[in-house]
Structure 1
Amino acid sequence: MTENTTSTAPIGLLTGKVVFITGASRGIGAAAARLFASEGAAVVLAARSTDALDRIVTEIRADGGTADAVPLDLADRASIRAAVDHVERLHGRLDGAFNNGAVVQQQPGPLDTTSDKDIDEQFAVNFRSHWTAMTAEAALMRQSGGGAIVNTSSIGSRRANPALPAYGAMKRALNSITETAAVTWAPESIRVNGITPGGTATEMMEKWEAATPGIIEANNAATPLGRMAEPREIAEVAAWLLSDRASYVTGAIIPVDGGAGA
C-alpha cells in the first residue's frame, strides 16, 4: 500500500475570500479551516464544540491567518441562521461556504432495525441543516454578487447502504438539493457543488469501527488506492470548488473516494 506523502505549498487559491465552514471542530472541517486559511481565506468556523474551535482559531491566527469562531447546532435552524448572520456582522459578505457538519447513525444496522430517533437525527442534521444553511448563505452571497457553496455528502449516498440506511438516504437527498440549488441560483452567480468522500481517517470513522470492528479493513480492501483518505485530501477538493479556478463548475457531485465508487 502506498502512503499519502503529499505536502502542497499554498498558492493563494482563496485569497480575499470570506469562507464559512460548518463542522469545523474536527476531521474534514478542521482540515478545511487550516487549509482555506493558508490559501488566503478569512475563515469563520462553526460547530458545537467551541473549545476545539477556539484552539483552531488560535492556531490559524498564530500562523498569520484570519479566523473567527461561532457556536452552531446543526439540529437547530435558528442557530444556523444566527451563525450566518454572525459572518455578516464580522465581514459584511460571504464568498464561500463549506457545509461539512454531519453525524453518523448511533446504531449501525439493517433498515428494519433503524430507530425512529436515528432517522429523525439524520434528517435534522444531515439533510435539513444543509437546506437551511444553503438558503441563509445564498441570501448573504447575493448582496455581493454571488459565491460558491460546497456540501459534503458521502460515497454512501451513491449506492445501497445496508449498514447505515438512514445516513445514506439523507446524504442522497443532500445530493438532490445540491443539484437543485445549483440550477436555481446559477442566474445569481452562486455555484453549488457536492463532494462524496469515501473512507476518511476521522473520529466519525473511528466510532464506526468501534461499533462495527473490521470496517476500516474492509474499506481499504474495497478502495483501489488501498487506504483511507486523510482529511486534508478531501478539503483540497472543496478548496478548488470554492475557488475561482472552478468558475464553470456547478451542480457537480464529485467523488473523492480513492476509486472505491468506480
Structure 2
Amino acid sequence: MSGLLLEGKNAVIYGGGGAIGGAIARVFAREGARVFIAGRTQAKLDALARDIAAAGGTVETAQVDVFDQPAVEKHAEGIAAAAGSIDIALNAVSVMHDQGTVLADLSLEAFMRPIDGFLRSLFITSKAVAPHMGRERPGVILTLSEPGSKLAVGGILGHAVSAAGKEAFSRVLAAELAPSNIQVVGIRPHAVVDAPAAGSYTKDLFTRTAAAAGQSVQEMLEGGAMAQATLLKRLPTLAEVAELAAFLASDRAGAMTGTIANLSAGALVD
C-alpha cells in the first residue's frame, strides 16, 4: 500500500503561481497527485512546473483568467476529459484590497473589491469543477479564508466581510454537494510569515500597517502585533498551510466537510 496521501488523485489549483498556491501544488505533487495549475501569469506557472517536474512530480499548466467563467469551465472540462475526473480543487487566487481604512474614509469601490473579487472567483471555480467531481470517486473542494472572518477590529470592513463570505459559501456548498460525495473544507490561516519572501501580494498589502508600526513587513510578521496576538506567538508558514491542505484533500480526512480548519496559530479559538 502506498504511503502517499494523494496517489491517483487529480488536483486543480487556481492561482497556482502564487505563494500559497505554489506551496500547495508542490506538496500535492509530492504526495502523488497529478497537479493542474492555472493562473494568469504563464512565466510563474512555468517556473513552478519546472520545480515540480524536477522533484519527480506530474504537473500541467494553463493560463486561465479565473474571472472568465467560460474559460474556467472549458479548462475544467479539459482536465476531466484528459484525466477522467477532478478529485481535488483549490482556489488560491489573491485579490489586492484595502486594510487599515475606516468607514469614514473608505470608498464603496474599495469596500466591495475583496467581496466581489474573492467571492466571484470562488463561485466561478466551484461551479466549474463540481460537475466533474464526486459520485464513485470522492471529491474535495478546498477554500481559503482569513481570521478577519471572526475579528471585530477597525479598518478591515471589506476584508472581514469577504472572509466571512468565503466561510459561509463553503458551509452552504458543503450541504449542497454532500449527496454527490463531494466535501467542502475551508482553511483559515493567518498572515503567512514567509509568504512575502515567496512573492505574495501580502508584501504590498501590509506595507502601510508595518510602516505605521515603524517596522518592515517581515519584522511585523515575525514578531510584531499579529504574531503576538496568537496563542503560539507566531504565524503559520507556507509549509504548514500546504501540509494541512494535503491532509484535508486526502481520504484520511474523508469524514470532514462543512467546516473550517483554523490554522491561525491560535489567533482565534473556535
Q: TM-score, normalised by structure 1?
A: 0.89
Helix, strand or coil at the partner of 1:211: helix
Q: How does 1:112-191 map to 2 (within 5 A)?
A: 112-142=104-134, 145-191=137-183
C-alpha contact 1:43 1:66 (8 A) present in aligned 2:
yes
Q: How does 1:67-106 map to 2 (within 5 A)?
A: 67-106=59-98
| Structure 1 residue 186, shift from structure 2 partner | 0.8
| Structure 1 residue 101, shift from structure 2 partner | 1.2
Matched positions, count: 253
Helix, strand or coil at the partner of 1:34: helix
Amino acid aligned to 2:228 = A
| Structure 1 residue 144, shift from structure 2 partner | 5.5
Helix, strand or coil at the partner of 2:206: helix
Of 234, 242, 249, the match for 1:242: 249
Of 8, 12, 16, the match for 2:4: 12
Determine the C-alpha separation between the residues in 2 that align with 1:50 and 1:148: 26
C-alpha contact 1:47 1:72 (8 A) present in aligned 2:
yes
For structure 2, the 5+ residue unaligned runs are 214-219
Counterpart of 1:208 in structure 2 is 205
Q: For each residue in 1:72-126, what CA deviation from the matched residue of structure 2 results, as whole angstroms up to 9, or x when unmatched?
A: 2233323332332332243131001112212131464113433333334323321
Amino acid aligned to 1:204 = Y
Q: Percent identity?
A: 30
Counterpart of 1:192 in structure 2 is 184
C-alpha contact 2:95 2:117 (8 A) present in aligned 1:
yes
Determine the C-alpha separation between the residues in 1 that align with 2:159 and 2:201: 12
Q: Which runs of 4+ in 1 moved over 6 A?
A: none
RMSD: 2.0
Q: For each residue in 1:12-39, what CA deviation from the matched residue of structure 2 results, as whole angstroms up to 9, or x when unmatched?
A: 1111100011121121111001010000
| Structure 1 residue 127, shift from structure 2 partner | 0.7
C-alpha contact 2:87 2:137 (8 A) present in aligned 1:
no
| Structure 1 residue 161, shift from structure 2 partner | 4.7
Counterpart of 2:57 in structure 1 is 65
Determine the C-alpha separation between the residues in 1 that align with 2:135 and 2:106: 43
Determine the C-alpha separation between the residues in 1 that align with 2:253 and 2:265: 21
Of 233, 255, 259, the match for 1:252: 259
Determine the C-alpha separation between the residues in 1 that align with 2:188 and 2:112: 22
Change (3 A) 1:255 1:85: same
| Structure 1 residue 176, shift from structure 2 partner | 0.8
Change (3 A) 1:247 1:226: same
